[in-house]
A = this chain, B = another copy of it.
Amino acid sequence: MPLLQRAALTALLALAVPLIAFAQDQEPIALRGMGSFHIGGRLVEISGKPVKEVTFTAGGVPAKVDPNGTYQVEQMYVQYFLPAKERGTVPLLMWHGGGLTGVTYETTPDGREGWLTMFLRKGWAVYNSDAVERGRSGWAQYPDIFKGEPVFLTTANPFERFRIGAGPGSYDPDPAKRKLLPGNQFPNEGYENFVKQNVPRWTTTDDAILAAYLAEIDKVCPCVILFHSQAGTFGFKAAQARPDKIKALVAVEPAGVGDIAKADVLKAIPTLMIYGDYIEQDSRWPTIRATGVKFAEAIKAAGGTAEVVDLPKVGIKGNSHMLMMDKNNAEVAGLIQTWLEGKGLTRQP
Contact = CB atoms under 8 A, between A and B. Distances in A.
29 contacts: A28-B32, A29-B30, A35-B107, A54-B203, A55-B203, A56-B203, A57-B232, A57-B233, A59-B233, A59-B256, A61-B284, A63-B161, A63-B284, A65-B151, A69-B155, A70-B154, A70-B156, A72-B195, A72-B196, A77-B103, A130-B136, A135-B136, A135-B138, A136-B199, A138-B196, A138-B198, A138-B199, A141-B150, A141-B152
B28 A103 contact: no
A41 B196 contact: yes
A37 B109 CA distance: 7
Interface stretch (A11-19, A111-119, A303-311): A111-119
Interface of A: 28-38, 41, 43, 46, 54-61, 63, 65-72, 75, 77, 79, 84, 98-99, 101-103, 106-107, 111, 113-114, 117, 130, 135-136, 138-141, 150-157, 161, 173, 192-193, 195-200, 203, 206, 229-230, 232-233, 255-257, 284, 287-288, 291
A111 B31 CA distance: 17
B75 A196 contact: yes
Nearest to A254: B57
Contacts of A30: 28-31
Given A151-B54, A155-B69, A60 B29 contact: no
Contact of A58 (B55, B68, B156, B206): B206
Contacts of A284: 61, 63
Closest 9 CB pairs of A and B: A69-B154, A38-B196, A35-B107, A138-B199, A75-B196, A57-B256, A57-B255, A135-B136, A36-B106
Contacts of A68: 154
